[in-house]
Amino acid sequence: MASFYRKWRDKLEFGIFTLPVLICVAVAFYIPFVMTVRYSLTKWNGISKHPKFIGLDNFKQIFTGDANFTNAAWFTVKYAVLYIVLINVLAILLALVLDAKLKSKTWLRAAFFIPYILSLVIVGFIWKFIFMQGFESLGNSTGWHIFKMSWLGEPGLAFISVLFVSIWQSIGFYLVIYIAGLQSVPGDLKEAAVVDGAGPVRRFFSVTLPLLAPSITIAVFMALTNSIKVFDVILSLTGGGPGGTTYSVAYDIYRDTFTNNLYGYGTAKALILFVAVLIITVIQLTIFKRREVEA
């Protein structure tokens, strides 16, 4: 009998301590998510008290007649692929350099990490000033054509500018992940590879890279989710221009929702983005976790 009461007392204590957390999670996530699903099925301008229920018409319009969403999705895909590849490759290369025995490696690590502390909105405004006025001054003083190019006024160059600024700002975060991964590689394995006659390149691909698999999984996951949701750097750097060529899906949602007052339509796009990010990240984590086990 005593054990029965003890069991129920433990369950009651567990419920009392976990109930506040469950309430907070419900208020912060589950209730807004249910409201998002509800509003995505309505035509609502964000002001009227009674949104008009229209069923799946918002989703039909998005997938069949919204050229802006299609272009924004294509921009986001290109940006995400290049961002994930470039930032991980560069972060691994920099981590290899900064993990070596350099006298100034501490200062160099801090220098690469400092931009990550700044908000991408602030970084975007800083680089907008550099591209528009700093490059103009450099072009006049040096005569180099690269500084006279319209980095924010031409679609291709604007895309490169957004990608460059994003990588410049966030590479320090991924650098820390890979440096931590490199420091966890056992030294005796490296020494054994040296004894076997393996060169630096062979040691990297046969020993270091497979043991970096957990770090790669984390870094790719973070890069994937951040790149798909890219918004702030576009808002501050290009404003979606020139001519809407740098609209990401997140920026397109923002424009429809808060500029055009299409709250129901924008909510439907946000729900599509959420599902896309969820599916892609689950697939990515499944594939990379399997490779970790194989490695």
pLDDT tens for each residue of 74-111: 999 999 999 999 999 999 999 988 887 777 778 888 88
Average pLDDT over residues 223-237: 90
Residue 267 · residue 257 · CB < 8 Å: yes
The pLDDT of residue 206: 79
In the predicted structure, residue 293 carries a pLDDT above the cut 60: no
Q: Determine the topology of domain 67-294 in CATH.
A: MetI-like fold (1.10.3720)
**Residues with Cβ within 8 Å of residue 139, at least 6 apart in sequence:** 145, 147, 148
d(CA 259, CA 272): 19
295 pLDDT exceeds 80?
Answer: no
Q: Note the pLDDT of residue 178.
A: 92
Annotated domain spans of the chain: 67-294
Which of 88, 122, 111 is closest to 232 using CA atoms? 122
Strand 52-53 with 42-43, pairing: antiparallel
What per-residue confidence (pLDDT) applies to 52? 87
Is the pTM higher than 0.75? The answer reads yes
148-160 confidence digits (pLDDT tens)? 888 888 888 999 9
What's the pLDDT score for residue 98? Answer: 85
Q: Compute the C-alpha angle 283/56/259, nearest 5°.
A: 85
Q: Are 221 and 281 in contact (CB under 8 A)?
A: yes
pLDDT digits (tens, 9 = 90+) for 21-74: 888 888 888 888 888 888 888 888 878 888 888 888 889 998 887 888 889 999
Sign of the CA dihedral running 242, 246, 249, 254 = negative
Confidence of residue 147 (pLDDT cuts 50, 70, 90): confident
205: left (phi over 0), alpha (psi -120 to 50) or beta: alpha
| Structure confidence at residue 168 (pLDDT) | 93
